[in-house]
Structure 1
Amino acid sequence: MLLMSERVRLAPRVCGWAVLAALLAGSGPAEAWARPASTAVRAATAECSSSSDPALATRIATDVSEALEGRTGTVSVAVSAPGRGLTCRLSASRQYDAASIAKVVILEGLLHRANQSEDRGLTASEGRLARAMITRSDNDAASSLWRSLGRQRLNAVLSRAGTDDTVLGDNGYWGLTRTSARDQLKVLDAVSRRPYAMKLMGEVVAEQDWGVSAGAPDDVRTHLKNGWLPRARNGWRVHSIGTFTGAGRDYRMALMSHDNDTQKYGVRTLERIATAVHRSLGESKAAVRGFTPDSEISEIPDGSVP
C-alpha cells in the first residue's frame, strides 16, 4: 500500500551486476561479487512514542509499516522530533557498512578540532575539502581529512555523540565504518548544532539529493547526506540521513538498508518511508516533493570503498 500517489512508476528490478563486477574487480579489499539473495523485509512495526502526541506516534508506526509492505531487503529506521518528544525505531541498532554517510562523522571531527580544540575557523584548504566531501561526496577529500584527523580524534567524536554501535573502518577504509540508524541520529544531533555543517548538507548536488528528502514539504529546509555502495555480501547498501527545519519544525531521520538488488530499489524503499514520516511531521499545505525519478538514480557506487 503506497502512502501517496507516486509521481513516477516504481522501477522494475533490473540487475546491473555484470557492470558492477567490472567496476569492483581487483580493487580495494578483495571481494568476489555475488548477487544477494532476495529476502522480504521482516514484518515488523516501528516502535514509536511521543510525550506530547501519542496518536502521532501510532500513526507514524503504522505508516512506516505500510511503506515497507511488499518490499525486500534489510531496513532500519530511526526518527526523532525533539520538540514533540517523538522517537521512532525499527531495527535501529542493526549495524551496516556506512559508505559515504561516514563523511558526516569526518565533518563533525573537522569542525570540532577547528572551533573547539583550536579556537579558530576552518582554513581555506579545510573549507574546500569539507565542501567537496559533503556537497559532491568527494572521496579524495574525505580520505585527506580522515588522515588529518586520525582515529583518536574521530573516536572522540563518536564518544561525545554517545554512539553505541559505531566502529571506525580499518586501514583507511572509512566507508567500511560500521554504524546503525540510532547512532546516525546521534551524529545528526551533533552536527545540527553547527550552522556550517547544515549549510553544506543543504547544498548537496542534485544527483545526490534523494532518500530522506522525498515527501518533504517545500517550506521545510532539508540537510542530508547519502551513501550507496554494493559489496559481495548484502548487495547494495543504500543509506540516507538528514535533518529538517523551518516553520517551527525540527526533526531528524536516519534510514539505512542493505540486501538491495539495485541502488534504485533501495532508494525507492527509503523514499517510501521518508514520505510517510514527512506526511505526519511536515504538517504543511506547501507543495510536497515527489519520489526521485528512476532516470535520475544511477547504479554507480559512491566509491567510498575502492
Structure 2
Amino acid sequence: MQRLRGELIQCASGKPRLARALTRDIARSLADRTSRASLVLYDRTTRTSCTYRADERYDSASIVKPIVLGALLHVRDGELSAEEQRLARKMIANSDNASTYVLWDIVGPDTIECFLDDVGMTNTAVDEAGYMGLTQVTARDQASLLAMLTGEDDAVLDEDERAYILGLMHDVQEDQRWGAPAGAPADAAVQVKNGWLRRSDANLRDPSDRGDWKVNSMSALTGRAYDSGLVVLTENNRVPEDAHPDAGWFYGMDTIEGVARSIHRNLYPRR
C-alpha cells in the first residue's frame, strides 16, 4: 500500500514483487498530475488487483454506453432488430450520442437500473434528468462490468451477448483507442470504451464542475494469455487561461495513459 493525496493505492497479487512494483509506479505516474483520478485493475492470469479511490463517483460521459447495450441485450434476451444493431454499433464503435439516446429511450432507466443491480454495480446512479453522460459511475463498478463481459458466468448475459459487446468495443474507431490500452502488448486483443465531457463554463459552486474536462477510459485485454481489465476515471483536468479549449481533454488523456503504461510495463515486462 502507498498513500497518495490522503488515499491508499492498494495492490495485491499472487506475485508479491509485482504488487509492490505496481503500487510504486502507479503512485509515480499520478504524483505530479493535478487531475482527480480513480482506478481499478484486475489481471486474472497473475491474480493481481489494484485500486485507488475505487468507489468515488464521476460523471460517466460515454463509458455509460456499454451499460446501455448490456441492458438492452438483457431485456431482449440477446435478440436485437437490424436497426438496433445498427444503432448499437454507432453507439459503441463511433461513440455516437444520437444513437445512444434512441437506445436509451428504448431501454428506459428502470431497465438500466435492473441491469446494474444484476451485474452488482450497486454504486452507479442513472441521472434523474435523463442525461446519459451524467450517470454517476465508479471505477470499481465499471471494472465489475468488464469482468462480467470477459468472464464465463452466464447469469446476466450469455456468451454470445458478452461477445457482441466486446466485439463492438474491439472495433472502436482508431482515433478513440487512446487511454487505458496505452502500453498494452501488440498481440493482445484490445476492447476499449472512452468518455469525455466538459460540463459547464460557469458553475463555480461545485469544485468538480468548473468547465474542466472529465476524461474516462476502460479497457479489457484478452487473447493468448491475456485476461485483464483497467478502468481509469479523471476529472478537474484544467484548461489554463488562453489555452486551447481542448487542453484539459488532452491533459486527462495523458494522465490516464501514464497510469496505463506504468501498469502494462509491470504486467508484461517482456512484451
TM-score, scaled to structure 2: 0.84
Among 78, 85, 93, the alignment partner of 1:135 is: 93
**Does residue 266 of structure 1 match 2:243?**
no
Among 117, 121, 131, the alignment partner of 2:79 is: 121
**Does residue 243 of structure 1 match 2:217?**
no
* Alpha-carbon distance between aligned partners in 2 of 1:249 and 1:268, rounded to the nearest angstrom: 24
**Does residue 171 of structure 1 match 2:157?**
no
Partner of 2:176: 208
Q: From the two aligned structures, give the one with the greater strand fraction.
A: 2
Instruction: Give unpaired runs (5+ residues) of structure 2.
Output: 152-161, 201-208, 239-247
Among 193, 196, 208, the alignment partner of 1:225 is: 193
* Alpha-carbon distance between aligned partners in 2 of 1:162 and 1:283, rounded to the nearest angstrom: 33
2:43–2:229 contact (8 Å) kept in structure 1: yes
- Matched residue SS, 1:245: strand
How far did residue 206 of structure 1 move? 1.1
1:1-306 alignment, distance < 5 Å: 42=5, 44-50=7-13, 52-115=14-77, 120-193=78-151, 194-232=162-200, 233-234=209-210, 235-261=212-238, 262-285=248-271
How far did residue 151 of structure 1 move? 1.4
How far did residue 69 of structure 1 move? 2.3
* Alpha-carbon distance between aligned partners in 2 of 1:57 and 1:162, rounded to the nearest angstrom: 26
1:283–1:195 Cα change, 3 Å: farther
- Matched residue SS, 1:83: coil
2:12–2:48 contact (8 Å) kept in structure 1: yes
How far did residue 164 of structure 1 move? 2.7
How far did residue 284 of structure 1 move? 4.0
2:188–2:223 contact (8 Å) kept in structure 1: yes
2:93–2:169 contact (8 Å) kept in structure 1: yes
How far did residue 283 of structure 1 move? 4.2
TM-score, scaled to structure 1: 0.75
Using the TM superposition, name which of 192-201 and 174-183 deviates more.
192-201
- Matched residue SS, 2:232: strand
1:198–1:189 Cα change, 3 Å: same
1:132–1:138 contact (8 Å) kept in structure 2: yes
How far did residue 53 of structure 1 move? 1.3
* Alpha-carbon distance between aligned partners in 2 of 1:156 and 1:143, rounded to the nearest angstrom: 18
The code of the aligned residue for 2:107 comes to L
How far did residue 192 of structure 1 move? 2.8
- Matched residue SS, 2:90: helix
Using the TM superposition, name which of 206-215 and 80-89 deviates more.
80-89
How far did residue 270 of structure 1 move? 0.3
1:238-292 deviation per Cα after TM superposition (whole angstroms, max 9, x unaligned): 000010012211000000000002100000000000001111223443xxxxxxx
- Matched residue SS, 1:68: helix
2:214–2:234 contact (8 Å) kept in structure 1: yes
The code of the aligned residue for 1:201 comes to M
Aligned residues: 240
Instruction: Give unpaired runs (5+ residues) of structure 1.
Output: 1-40, 286-306
